[in-house]
Structure 1
């Protein structure tokens, strides 16, 4: 039987048959789905999100079997907003990343993002940077400092996003537009610039929406409920 070893993180798992689990893994070789047998045992305790793993998968079909699974590092302990942010990244990957499509650079970026979340780095820049990397890896990226005609973005210009083409210059103010100054700040990853974080959040939502197929993200709704819930 064909077997392959890899670094991995669990994106999602659910009960499967009597005592097994169906697990989606992120690996440098892409998103892989496999059956974990005896999921209530020691292996099942490791089959949770945000734990660096070494796994061995067996089988040649799309649905493989976990032959071996062990911890490969310190778990990324996430709580509160950081936990929901990690679940959001996982849901994006499950929804958008094709199965068995290798993205080793994205895997490394994901691992570093989890580490940054675990130590409490500022949340919004981490999420926006990951969304941007994911779009680029999937071939949906676009320039932030030039428009779709190849002209440099003007500091005082106004632009709308055409998700399949890029930034389109617009002559007058309309809802949903982006200021050139904010776009140039994003191009330089200048998160301290006034308006940069808010613009980045709107831009990434507009860029991701066509690829999510109109279905809401469960993790985003949970995150919003967390932020809106009254504090003791």
Structure 2
């Protein structure tokens, strides 16, 4: 790969973990460059100027030099406040990040997923946080080529089964109501009710299929937190 220099690129920070004795391996998400792996040299040191900024869910302006798969981080600036999440909502944000880390390849731009991620983070502090997760899952799966085709003629009074070959078909044994599917298709929550649980089950299965049946760590931790509460 040719060497490339990027200056002050808007990014969301997905993760940061120790890398060698004093550095961090940072995963960021950019509209133009997709998921980026960056080595932040010396960022774990007490005198590092970047240490406080390199936190997950932060909107940042990043500069780097690309050499091979990993880039060398050369600059960090804040690009607005973090979304201000706490408790379960913080787990929701981590869940979004883990989805991107597990389902996207590095240096593969996904501008639609980038926009959907920003919209989801903005919605997480609000009353429809869980519905925002469903919309993001739907948008991300569509962006990587595994979207759900929800027909326009869905009947809210019927139940539906989904298959890879035939899509959504009416069935008394269906796991998802037409009301739930219309809410997901149109991006409009339909009040309270069982439809929320139905959509969670539907999208969990769709995501799990793309993960080869493996479970996300954040989803497992959130269930454990809810069980304790």
TM-score tier, shorter chain, comes to 0.7 to 0.9
Q: CA deviation at 1:85?
A: 0.4
Q: CA deviation at 1:136?
A: 1.0
**Number of the residue aligned with 1:85:** 92
Secondary structure in 2 matching 1:43: coil
Q: Which of 67, 72, 80 in structure 2 is aligned with 1:73? A: 80
Unaligned runs of 5+ in 1: 147-151
Following the alignment from structure 2 to structure 1, what is the Cα–Cα distance between the partners of residues 117 and 221? Answer: 21
Q: Which moved more, 1:214-223 or 1:182-191?
A: 182-191
**Number of the residue aligned with 1:182:** 180
Unaligned runs of 5+ in 2: none
Q: CA deviation at 1:128?
A: 0.7
The alignment status of 1:167 with 2:167, answered yes or no, reads: yes
Contact in 1 for aligned 2:13/2:58 (Cα 8 Å): yes
Contact in 1 for aligned 2:35/2:108 (Cα 8 Å): yes
Q: Which of 13, 17, 20 in structure 2 is aligned with 1:17? A: 20
**Number of the residue aligned with 1:136:** 142
What TM-score do you get using the length of structure 1 for normalisation? Answer: 0.86
Q: Which moved more, 1:107-116 or 1:79-88?
A: 107-116
CA RMSD for the aligned pairs?
2.0
Following the alignment from structure 1 to structure 2, what is the Cα–Cα distance between the partners of residues 121 and 52? Answer: 22
Q: Residues 148-198 of structure 1, C-alpha deviation per residue, up to 9 Å, x if partnerless?
A: xxxx33444443222x4462425542xx62233432343233422543312
The alignment status of 1:98 with 2:96, answered yes or no, reads: no
The alignment status of 1:37 with 2:35, answered yes or no, reads: no
168 and 145 in structure 1: CA distance in 2 versus 1, 3 angstrom threshold: closer
Following the alignment from structure 1 to structure 2, what is the Cα–Cα distance between the partners of residues 121 and 168? Answer: 29
Contact in 1 for aligned 2:13/2:29 (Cα 8 Å): yes
Q: Residues 72-131 of structure 1, C-alpha deviation per residue, up to 9 Å, x if partnerless?
A: 1112221101100000000011001121111123222212322222x4342211111111
**Number of the residue aligned with 1:62:** 69
Following the alignment from structure 1 to structure 2, what is the Cα–Cα distance between the partners of residues 120 and 214? Answer: 31
**Number of the residue aligned with 1:204:** 203
What TM-score do you get using the length of structure 2 for normalisation? Answer: 0.87
**Number of the residue aligned with 1:213:** 212
Aligned residue-pair number: 221
